[in-house]
Amino acid sequence: MPKQPVSSTMADIARACGVSIQTVSAVVNDRAGISDETRRRVRAVMQELDYQPNQHARTLRGYRNPMIGVIIPSITNPFFPELVRGVEDVARRSGHGLFLCNDDYEEQKALDYLGFIRANHASGLIAAPGIMESSPEIERQILALARRNVPIVLFGEHRQGMPVTSIMVDARAAVLATAQHLLDLGHRRIGIIAPPEGMIVSRERISDFQTAFATLGRPLDPALIVPGGFDMECGSRGAEQLMAMDDAPTAIIAANDLAAMGAIAWLQGNGRRVPDDVSVVGYDDIPFARVFQPSITTVSQPLYDMGAAAMTALIEQLAAGPSEPASDRNVWLAATLMARQSTGPCRQQPAETGQRPGKKRKTARIEEMPETPREETRDLEDNPP
Amino acid sequence: MPKQPVSSTMADIARACGVSIQTVSAVVNDRAGISDETRRRVRAVMQELDYQPNQHARTLRGYRNPMIGVIIPSITNPFFPELVRGVEDVARRSGHGLFLCNDDYEEQKALDYLGFIRANHASGLIAAPGIMESSPEIERQILALARRNVPIVLFGEHRQGMPVTSIMVDARAAVLATAQHLLDLGHRRIGIIAPPEGMIVSRERISDFQTAFATLGRPLDPALIVPGGFDMECGSRGAEQLMAMDDAPTAIIAANDLAAMGAIAWLQGNGRRVPDDVSVVGYDDIPFARVFQPSITTVSQPLYDMGAAAMTALIEQLAAGPSEPASDRNVWLAATLMARQSTGPCRQQPAETGQRPGKKRKTARIEEMPETPREETRDLEDNPP
DNA sequence: TTGTACGCGTTATCAC
DNA sequence: GTGATAACGCGTACAA
């Protein structure tokens, strides 16, 4: 294997300058004890020979490898690009690179990548929601990394006592606002297309809505919660199931935006207008929720900020060193309601007796909430050739 | 800096087994000359101590670093996730990891990342369209890498004699099919919202359409080509400009799908129905082109396959070694027309005399084209919490 | 079959 | 201020 030198080395510089290797090292690392003249000359030769420090030698010598492993299910899932961008922008500012890993929720891929991350002595690991729940072996590997003082940041899991940092989103206020929004529009029969079973975030997502509607004095009808999932197909099936009911809901809350889009597609394909006949609410606020027609009313998660917060927390942990307890450094962000076109006034007569749509009534705790749905301004930009 | 061992080393294994280090090395690398008994024992201890070879030591020793740099403008641009996934799936199968770099078309970021890639001795580089045109310094750096026998794969640039491989998409047949499609629908006045100026791919995209319509005996009216770009905003402005014309076009070809969405949004917001009043054609076939309403008729680029082809070509080059000429290994893929709902029959009376919409006429070379727009089946899946 | 010696490029700790 | 020496973990000649 005839290896070609991919870069000149310190030895090359030293030889060309007529100085010793560690003089060059001192210049590269801006250490004191070098005459200005020498420093200048070394710098010039470095420039000329296009010198680039060998990261492997550095890492081997004991320095951190400025590389962060990022494990997500798949970058083609519209939820993740924004998240990854948040991570990357912060990472770049601190001189870190990203090692991107798509595991497709497959244990073997995740384990392969965890091995890769370890083999490359990445300085840290950021992983998507649900990874700890996906397999005991994965959890074991991640905890082993943590025990070796590799900072770990996860999304949405806040089990106590774990040596990992979690980025949490408090959606309760936004969910309450969403419930209020639907009630204000006159909806009384409200269906839910549930997230997939078995994940912590799924359970939280449903219970947040149940709590919110209960708080507002209009508890959800459990019969209107149908099993679903996070893709469009699940949304379609869920809508079909809900609309087949004797007393079909006038509003549907979907597991996420994709499911909402699937639901809307099914409704439109089956003679229902959105929002005229049925209102639909999504979750996440992926970029296309705003572009979809009708644009989707949704519980907006600050995806970019979540990514940025994750990397920021990671850097802090890196700086703090292994002494710190590492747990309970969790970061909380807030979700917000984005009211758009997929929700509108309920035009059906309420089946139940009671207040009529539009009639003013007491608003429980409404003043506590981020009331004004701020429309996001960040744009989809620059699609290349 | 008290460095904690992130993994056990060969020395640890050797000590625990009571053998020498390179016996362990021989076992790890499956070399001959080790007794089955020893091999078994070493393997067991490796398992137990959770040994992971140190990639930095290996690379330093002279092995390749199984890591590929991928530079794209931004992963939040819906064009790129599919592309990156194609790269990654092939990379994983050959044991390579991806080093993801978003440069936002900014020279400094690209240069920083190129330095990072070089410092980490990545085995190869895959970069997005247009990178070589973006700055002379970037081009210099990339060519320097190539000269050091780091395989480079780019998209859409096939300058002769460059030591880089290009992944090319031949869109001519698909563009001809698109032209035929619009003419068949009866459109005669056809506007174009142009891609941004200055990129090779942009010029090609326009000239392909000009050639196609000329081939079919209906050359495009240059007055109907307005400046545009790759985002929705450009699409909106372009549509506005076109519809303000005295004799506005009945069909619009946008620079890409995002521009098409922008155009459609403007049209709908200004009293035109799509496709009833105006037909719109996109380019790229990003995942949401299929979901958008109306779904977008578009020249579909095989994004995933392009990524996969890029990584495949890279691996071949890696295997071939530096001896090969490296140029003219370009890979050609074909675009296809995806006819969807954003195009429909022209309902306006043709301003010019001539054939009437729907009337059968000679179809030039139509049989050469991929006639049946195969609808893609791959789905957007699994949006997580 | 197994052990010894050396070098990859870098940095840190020493003397000079 | 500058130059030699050791060490990081691994792989490969070579010798035993």
Which residue of A117, A285, A382 to mutate against B (max B Cβ within 10 Å)?
A382
Residue B362's contacts (CB-CB under 8 Å, 6 or more residues apart) are: none
Q: What is the pLDDT of residue A68?
A: 97
From the CA of A291, how many Å to the C1' of D15? 72
Mean pLDDT, rounded, of chain B = 87
The CA distance from A97 to the nearest CA of chain B, in Å, is 7
Tokens of A70: 């990022």
Is residue B221 within 8 A of residue B189, CB to CB? The reply is: yes
Residue B59's contacts (CB-CB under 8 Å, 6 or more residues apart) are: A56, B65, B121
Tokens of B333: 């893929």
Residue B88's contacts (CB-CB under 8 Å, 6 or more residues apart) are: A75, A100, A102, B98, B307, B311
| Chain A residues 346-375 with a CB less than 8 Å from chain B | none
Q: pLDDT-based confidence at A353, cuts 50/70/90? A: very low
Instruction: Give nucleotides in strand D with any atom < 7 A to a protein C-beta.
Output: 1-5, 7-13
Tokens of A13: 């510089």
Instruction: Give nucleotides in strand C with any atom < 7 A to a protein C-beta.
Output: 1-5, 7-13
Q: What is the pLDDT of residue A328?
A: 66
Q: What is the pLDDT of residue B77?
A: 93
Q: For residue A60, say whether its CB is under 7 Å from any atom of strand C.
A: yes
Mean pLDDT, rounded, of chain A = 87
Q: pLDDT tens, A71-117?
A: 999 999 999 999 999 999 999 999 999 999 999 999 999 999 999 99
> Average pLDDT, stretch B180-203?
95
Q: What is the pLDDT of residue A156?
A: 86
Q: Would strands A97-102 and B97-102 be described as parallel, antiparallel, or unpaired?
A: antiparallel
Q: Which residue is nearest to nucleotide D11 (CA to C1')?
A: B61
> Across the beta sheet with B297-300, what order do the strands follow?
B225-226, B190-193, B251-253, B279-284, B297-300, B336-338
B258 lies within 8 A of chain A by CB? yes
> Average pLDDT, stretch A187-202?
93
Is residue A273 within 8 A of residue A346, CB to CB? The reply is: no
Residue B2's contacts (CB-CB under 8 Å, 6 or more residues apart) are: none
Taking the mean position of all CA atoms in its chain, how far away is CA B324?
25
Q: pLDDT tens, A220-241?
A: 999 999 999 999 999 999 999 9
Is residue A324 within 8 A of residue A286, CB to CB? The reply is: no
User: Are A59 and B56 an interchain contact pair (Cβ–Cβ within 8 Å)?
Assistant: yes
B7 lies within 8 A of chain A by CB? yes
CB atoms within 10 A of CB B98: 23
**Quick one: what percent of chain B has pLDDT higher than 90?**
65
> Is the predicted pLDDT of residue B210 greater than 70, yes or no?
yes
> Is the predicted pLDDT of residue A349 greater than 80, yes or no?
no
From the CA of B327, how many Å to the C1' of D11? 33
> Is the predicted pLDDT of residue B170 greater than 90, yes or no?
yes
Return the minimum-mean-pLDDT range out of A190-199, B132-141, B159-168.
B159-168
Is residue A225 within 8 A of residue A194, CB to CB? The reply is: yes
Tokens of A47: 């420039």
Measure CA of the first residue to CA of the last residue in chain A; give whole Å: 39
B29 lies within 8 A of chain A by CB? no
Q: pLDDT tens, A275-331?
A: 999 999 999 999 999 999 899 999 999 999 999 999 999 999 988 866 565 556 889
From the CA of A20, how many Å to the C1' of D3? 6
Nearest CA in chain B to A93: B109
Q: What is the pLDDT of residue A384?
A: 40
The CA distance from A234 to the nearest CA of chain B, in Å, is 10
Q: What is the pLDDT of residue B178?
A: 98
Candidates B6, B265, B382; nearest CB to A121? B6
CB atoms within 10 A of CB A267: 23
Q: For residue B20, say whether its CB is under 7 Å from any atom of strand D.
A: no
> Is the predicted pLDDT of residue A350 greater than 60, yes or no?
no
User: Are A118 and B52 an interchain contact pair (Cβ–Cβ within 8 Å)?
Assistant: yes
Tokens of A116: 């890769």
A1 contacts in B (CB within 8 Å)? 62-63
> Average pLDDT, stretch A21-45?
88
Give strand pairing partners of B124.
Answer: B68
B265 contacts in A (CB within 8 Å)? 291
Q: pLDDT tens, B364-385?
A: 333 333 334 433 333 333 334 3
B74 lies within 8 A of chain A by CB? yes
What distances in angstroms separate CA A86 from CA A302, A307, A309, one per listed residue? 10, 4, 8
B5 versus B210: which is more confidently predicted? B210
Distance CA A332, CA A315 (A): 17
Q: Got the DSSP string for A25-83?
A: HHHHTT-SS--HHHHHHHHHHHHHHT----HHHHHHHTPPEEEEEEEES-TTSTTHHHH
The CA distance from A138 to the nearest CA of chain B, in Å, is 14
| Chain B residues 306-345 with a CB less than 8 Å from chain A | 322
> Is the predicted pLDDT of residue B224 greater than 70, yes or no?
yes
Q: What is the pLDDT of residue A148?
A: 87
User: Are A5 and B201 an interchain contact pair (Cβ–Cβ within 8 Å)?
Assistant: no
Q: pLDDT tens, A130-161?
A: 888 889 999 999 999 998 889 999 998 777 77
Measure the CA angle with vertex A273, ends A267 and A277; round to 5°.
100
Measure CA of the first residue to CA of the last residue in chain B; give whole Å: 38
Q: What is the pLDDT of residue B377?
A: 32
Please give residues of chain B from 99 to 138 whose alpha-adjacent beta carbon (CB) lies under 7 Å from any atom of strand C. none
B287 lies within 8 A of chain A by CB? yes
CB atoms within 10 A of CB A148: 15
Q: What is the pLDDT of residue A244?
A: 97
Distance CA B151, CA B158 (A): 15
**Quick one: what percent of chain B has pLDDT higher than 70?**
86
B101 contacts in A (CB within 8 Å)? 97-98
Q: What is the pLDDT of residue A323?
A: 58
What burial class does residue B352 get, using C-beta atoms within 10 Å of its C-beta: 0-12 exposed, 13-18 middle, 19+ buried? exposed
> Average pLDDT, stretch B143-165?
86
**Amino acid letter at B332?**
W
Q: What is the pLDDT of residue A4?
A: 57
Q: How many residues does chain B have?
A: 385
What distances in angstroms separate CA B5 from CA A20, A147, A373, B12, B182, one per listed residue? 31, 11, 49, 11, 65
Q: For residue A351, say whether its CB is under 7 Å from any atom of strand C.
A: no
Residue B204's contacts (CB-CB under 8 Å, 6 or more residues apart) are: B156, B171
Q: Measuring CA to CA, which residue among B362, B46, B383 is closest to residue B183?
A: B362
Measured CA to C1', the nucleotide nearest B62 is: C8
Candidates B81, B199, B231; nearest CB to A381? B231
Q: For residue B9, say whether its CB is under 7 Å from any atom of strand D.
A: yes
Among A239-248, A326-335, B145-154, B322-331, top mean pLDDT goes to A239-248
